[in-house]
Structure 1
Amino acid sequence: MTSPACIVVINWNGADDTIGCLRSLEPVRSSGCMVLVVDNGSDDGSAGRIRMACPETEVLALPLNLGYGGGCNAGCRRAEELGAKAVIFLNNDTLVDPLFAVSLLLVLSRDPTAGMVVPKILYADRPCRIWYAGGEVDLSRGMVRHTGIRRKDGPRYSQSSHTGYATGCCFAMRTRDFRAVGGFDEGFGMYAEDVDLSLRVRELGFSIDYEPSSVVWHRVSASYRGRPLKKIWLRSMGIMRLLRKHGSWTGMMLFMLLEPFRLVRGAASLAAVRVMGVLHAEARSNEEGAA
């Protein structure tokens, strides 16, 4: 895409993650993309630390935490002021392939019907495992989920395609389209605002495009380390708001009926992950001791 593009990274009390993300963006910046950090009302000195560590990066320091959607909206406004015609929203707890931005922006440049473009996203601690390879949404069933999550990466997840929704972890849009659709609905909390935005983009006649040649690695749930049940709860509340907003009453009833079971299953999965993590750490410690 020949017009300027801006990568917007949202930070809230996460300077270490953000600085790591910015380091991975250095090759991308050299290819012509601007980088903007939106500090979302941090109270731990994050903005100053980021400015000191990455003086070449502009930091937009907001006085209050506007939430993810509000931070992104503010970031896009500033990106347009800087002359950006396209914006890539990127979580601060990510690392990127040097060509990730080029691949996303090329789709927007070649296809005027593409409204949002989203990369393949892998787990940072399990880089052969998929975190996002497309999104499935069925409001009539109250179902929102990532395609391929926790599956081993392979040819099945390496085909460009249209998909149901783009994850807020990383996606690209033209700034004019983002403005036309009204940006993020700031009434959402931490979850489902990306699905809502995707549905509104689709209502304008645009597609959501999955582009696996663009690759990002995600350190999942950095914002809620140590509080995974809060993440599950907030996600449930976000989906409830999504279903109310888009008028899917059957989906809401099914979601309310099935969500308690999903919550129990999610808690069990988290417990299993913790146990495996402990066993892995112990095994590695034993190997190092034997060496």
Structure 2
Amino acid sequence: MEKKVTIVIPNYNGKRFLDDCLSSLERQTSKDFETLVIDNASQDDSVSYIREHYPWVKIAVMRHNLGFSGGVNVGIGMCTTPYVLLLNNDTRSFPKMVEELIKTMESADDIFSVSCKMIQFHDHEKMDDAGDLYTCLGWAFQRGVGQPVGDYREPAEVFSACAGAAMYRRELFAKVGLFDELHFAYLEDLDLGYRAKIQGYRNVYCPTAKVYHVGSGTSGSKYNSFKVKLSARNSVYVNYKNMPLPQLILNAPALVAGYFVKWCFFMKIGFGKDYVDGLKEGISTRKKCKKVFFRGRDIRNYWQIQKELWENTITYIIELAKRKL
């Protein structure tokens, strides 16, 4: 009997995380899933370790590192189940995680993705991510990051799921598209959720599907040259691809202000040049992106998205103030 879910785990030199990640899947209350690890040419014996200790896990070994986007796209292409659950290797899942995601996904046909309640691995009292939001400043942020876990007990609609622990309706990839491989990593999940929203699908947060998340398990740190540059470049791609010209013009003052403030922040911590280089690369290579085709019937969706961009900017300011206090 075919399973409902394929759990796709991208892995790059993540051997040290695999026991927590895979053993927690063995303890799931729902067994209606199969597990597929996409190994991005690891050099730390991840593959042999999985084969020896977790023989029930399927493995696809890439010849070179395809990044998050390329790796999970391979995994999605190998899936035949109705749902695909993307899971970072630096997570430990609660026993009912799969069960609760399935319940939420089956509650409505217009749900494209369901984001888990991601809790900080090293501080179980604080949130890591309750779904991702996007602002008119061109800033994406983790909803709830650093806030008390108890503050995020209710289901909610979010701008996009965090692909570090999220379930997707597989059949809708044919309409929305896969993860953009030009991104390689960072903001690729936001871009995907944005495209789904343009077509009228919803991304939601499920507070009863919980995981602990280390964070930056593959990149190694919150800020580094590689991450800052790619994130800056990809932020240009997100706006260029998904906003029609009138919306870009409408948001231009806020976007310019947002980029300037971020440049000041990264200058302060020593990554100003990396940030500028990323923006330059994004601008010069933007036409390599496949821009979302504008359809008149989606105008209502664009307007709803614009309202969310404004509302999420206010939410960001409020959450930032809470963290500072």
Residue of structure 2 equivalent to 1:214: 209
Alignment CA distance shift 1:162-1:10 (3 Å): same
Which residue of the other structure, out of 178, 181, 194, is the alignment partner of 1:186? Answer: 181
Equivalences for 1:1-291 in 2 at 5 Å? 4-28=4-28, 31-80=31-80, 84-138=81-135, 140-154=136-150, 156-225=151-220, 228-230=223-225, 231-247=227-243, 248=248, 250=252, 252-263=255-266
Residue of structure 2 equivalent to 1:289: none
Tell me which moved more, 24-33 or 216-225: 24-33
Give me the whole-angstrom Cα distance separating, in 2, the residues matched to 1:150 and 1:198.
Answer: 23
CA contact (8 A) 2:69 2:183 kept: yes
Tell me which moved more, 251-260 or 115-124: 251-260
Alignment CA distance shift 1:30-1:195 (3 Å): closer
C-alpha offsets along residues 249-275 of structure 1, whole Å, 9 cap, x if unaligned?
61542332111233256679xxxxxxx
Give me the whole-angstrom Cα distance separating, in 2, the residues matched to 1:241 and 1:100.
Answer: 32
C-alpha offsets along residues 53-81 of structure 1, whole Å, 9 cap, x if unaligned?
2111111111121110111111011122x
CA contact (8 A) 1:5 1:33 kept: yes
TM-score, with normalisation over the residues of structure 2? 0.75
Give me the whole-angstrom Cα distance separating, in 1, the residues matched to 2:269 and 2:165.
Answer: 24
CA contact (8 A) 1:232 1:266 kept: no
**Counterpart AA for 2:23:** R
Give me the whole-angstrom Cα distance separating, in 2, the residues matched to 1:203 and 1:3.
Answer: 30
CA contact (8 A) 1:137 1:143 kept: yes
Name the SS for the 2:78 alignment partner: helix
Residue of structure 1 equivalent to 2:277: none
Tell me which moved more, 182-191 or 40-49: 40-49
**Counterpart AA for 2:119:** L
CA contact (8 A) 1:3 1:86 kept: no
Tell me which moved more, 242-251 or 3-12: 242-251
CA contact (8 A) 1:40 1:71 kept: yes
| Unaligned stretches of 5+ residues in structure 1 | 269-291
The CA deviation at 1:3 is 5.5
Name the SS for the 1:245 alignment partner: helix
Give me the whole-angstrom Cα distance separating, in 1, the residues matched to 2:239 and 2:202.
Answer: 21
Give me the whole-angstrom Cα distance separating, in 2, the residues matched to 1:267 and 1:153.
Answer: 32
**Counterpart AA for 2:96:** L
Identity %: 26
The CA deviation at 1:113 is 1.2
Alignment CA distance shift 1:199-1:97 (3 Å): same
C-alpha offsets along residues 79-134 of structure 1, whole Å, 9 cap, x if unaligned?
22xxx111100000100001011111111112111111011101000111011113
C-alpha offsets along residues 218-255 of structure 1, whole Å, 9 cap, x if unaligned?
00111122573233343233223222323436154233
Tell me which moved more, 43-52 or 8-17: 43-52
**Counterpart AA for 2:88:** N
Give me the whole-angstrom Cα distance separating, in 1, the residues matched to 2:257 and 2:3.
Answer: 45
**Counterpart AA for 1:161:** A
Give me the whole-angstrom Cα distance separating, in 2, the residues matched to 1:132 and 1:86.
Answer: 21
**Counterpart AA for 2:127:** I
**Counterpart AA for 2:264:** F
Give me the whole-angstrom Cα distance separating, in 1, the residues matched to 2:169 and 2:29.
Answer: 18
CA contact (8 A) 1:85 1:174 kept: yes
Give me the whole-angstrom Cα distance separating, in 2, the residues matched to 1:208 and 1:165.
Answer: 5
